[in-house]
Chain A
């Protein structure tokens, strides 16, 4: 039996997994630059945070749509518990990060401390769970992997 197929793909290459490294890197980066701002009070770190969280949200929104297409397009993906945890968890990530982008649009210290910093940390915590389940979908259940299930 072939592996579960990714509906949103080009020449058999799934688009969702191509995009997700960008928001994952951005959202982990925001936590790092928020901590750097908190420690240094150098506003340049807060500027970095604002760019990272904004770009992360935009790319994450596109990745979410592509992921939803894969989810809707393949019954065997929908039957995986990991897919549900991954999908719902990342909706939470997107909501947290969107709020965080608005908090980071404030001016001065309260653009980061404390609300922004807390939201950045929560985003990364939820990402650990959704990332783990995303990797399980690919590496354990073979979602969008070429070839046959043994």
Chain B
């Protein structure tokens, strides 16, 4: 959307009922974010940046760090997973597409076309191998092909689990293998199409390997497709690895991603994409530990008992039970990647906390996100202000790339999947 369009939209908004300006995102980072009153617009503020690719540009890193491209020219790399032998798996993936049920979706599809990569993903997993240790992958193999919008990956012993958008699949894996044939074995079906609004299914395993955890996002922004299609969604599934049986481990999490256990603990963490169209500073996305059996509010409320007026019938009984997440990341940053850092290869300031990949905003006049941040931890809890680690994904009104999934490789380097930029970036200490 150009400035001229934005001005026109702003003029229309002004004509039909003004809304608040976007505030400083730093007021919404931390355990107790500023929560302004909700505001519904005639035309919600949108700011969609044009995707221009990297060319000769590179992401910028904080002092003491260095960034290189592990691989470029990938098709929508959404998530990365580091295998113990140093090989790196990359899921190249597109959403399965959503049927049009309202005229708004026709308009939104046109608007969002600019922001997303025009490249069609292969819906497959690639294996990248750096044989000479120079930080650039010199081998690229099609590891698993013919997947259905894959996103989550986790290795438990000799079993590699892949979360397609509608199923968790198991593949038998030998270290050093560069290709796996066949469709895999179905462990558990996950809620998929035909709507499949939030389609990325994040996946991790419990520290003892007996359980898998899958993030299943909601099937709408805020129940506009009806509650019937939300069954089993906006939840984290706990799946028994032996039988495939599942239960809802936690609910009311609108779109949980980046599932991972904090190293050395039994605590599951996730980053959550919160609801849109209540204003530029509502609702802050978050990083949170996930308590077994807890309800986190969606769709009825946010940050505890802040009731969303767009959901009817309301459920005061559930709102009363809703708990607030641990740490707000500010509004509309779209966190999709999360990894704890307990390695020693990066400077000591990055020890014990978590990196978060923020895909970036579209429904906020001032852009937010489009970077990788570091949240310091102390005593097992997020503590203090988040700091920018990798930036430079946007220039004025154009995007070079957008960070998605994160991983730490066998050498302790941070890996970043960049879907719009078609790259996997590798962050190490500056020499």
Q: Which residues of B contact A101 (CB under 8 A)?
A: 103
Cβ–Cβ contact B16 & A108, under 8 A: no
Contact B224 A108 (CB under 8 A): yes
Can you pick out 17 interface pairs between chain A and chain B where the beta carbons lie within 8 Å of each other?
A: A43-B223, A43-B225, A47-B101, A51-B103, A99-B16, A102-B43, A103-B42, A105-B103, A105-B104, A107-B310, A108-B222, A108-B308, A108-B310, A108-B312, A109-B311, A110-B40, A110-B310
Known contacts A46-B224, A47-B101, A107-B221, then 17 further A-B pairs from the complex at CB < 8 Å, ordered by chain A residue: A41-B312, A41-B313, A42-B226, A43-B225, A44-B226, A47-B102, A102-B43, A107-B220, A107-B223, A108-B221, A108-B223, A108-B311, A108-B312, A109-B309, A110-B40, A111-B224, A113-B312
Closest B residue to A105 using CB positions: B104
Cβ–Cβ < 8 Å partners of B103 in chain A: 50-51, 54, 101, 105
Q: Is B277 on the interface with A (CB-CB < 8 A)? A: yes
Q: Mark A75-99, 1 if CB is under 8 A from B, else 0.
A: 0000000000000000000000001
Is A106 part of the binding interface, using a Cβ–Cβ cutoff of 8 Å?
yes
Grouping DSSP codes into helix (H, G, I), strand (E, B) and loop, the B interface class, with mixed when no group exceeds half, is: loop
Report the Cα distance A103→B17, complex, angstroms: 12
Residue of B nearest to A48 (CB): B102
Residues of B within 8 A of A99 (CB): 16, 42
- The CA-CA distance from A50 to B224 in the complex, in Å, is 12
Q: Select which of B40, B101, B220, B223 is within 8 A of A106 by beta carbon.
A: B40
From A50, A101, A109, residue with most partner B Cβ within 10 Å: A109
**A43 near B226 (CB under 8 angstroms)?**
yes
Instruction: Count residues of A near B (Cβ-Cβ below 8 Å).
Output: 21
| Chain B, range 33-53, C-beta contacts under 8 Å to A | 40, 42-43
**Which residues of B lie under 8 Å from residue A50 when comparing CB positions?**
102-104
Chain A residues positioned under 8 Å from B102 (CB to CB): 47, 50-51, 105
- How many contacts between A and B, using CB within 8 angstroms? 57
B residues 1-24 in Cβ contact with A at 8 Å: 16
Q: Point out which of A44, A50, A101, A107 has the most chain B C-beta atoms below 10 A from its C-beta.
A: A107
Taking Cβ atoms with an 8 Å cutoff, the residues of B that contact A are 16, 40, 42-43, 101-104, 107, 220-226, 276-277, 308-313
Q: Which B residues touch A107, using CB under 8 A?
A: 220-224, 276-277, 310
Interface flags, A54-82, vs B, CB<8A=1, else 0: 10000000000000000000000000000
Docked CA distance A33–B64 (Å): 61
- Which residues of chain A have C-beta atoms less than 8 A from B40's C-beta? 106, 110
Q: How far is the CA of A46 from the CA of B310 in the complex (A)?
A: 13
What's the Cα separation between A115 and B223 when bound, in Å? Answer: 19
- In Å, the complex CA distance between A9 and B220 comes to 46
* A102 and B16 within 8 A (CB): yes
**Nearest A residue to B42, CB-CB:** A102
Shortest distance in angstroms between A44's beta carbon and chain B's nearest beta carbon? 8
Q: Which residues of A contact B224 (CB under 8 A)?
A: 43, 46, 107-108, 111
Q: How far is the CA of A43 from the CA of B221 in the complex (A)?
A: 13
Most chain A beta carbons < 10 A, residue from B42, B103, B310, B312: B103
Closest-CB distance, A6 to chain B (whole angstroms): 31
Task: Provide the bound-state CA to CA distance between A76 and B377, in Å.
Answer: 80
Contacts of B101 in A (CB 8 A): 47
Q: How far is the CA of A47 from the CA of B224 in the complex (A)?
A: 9
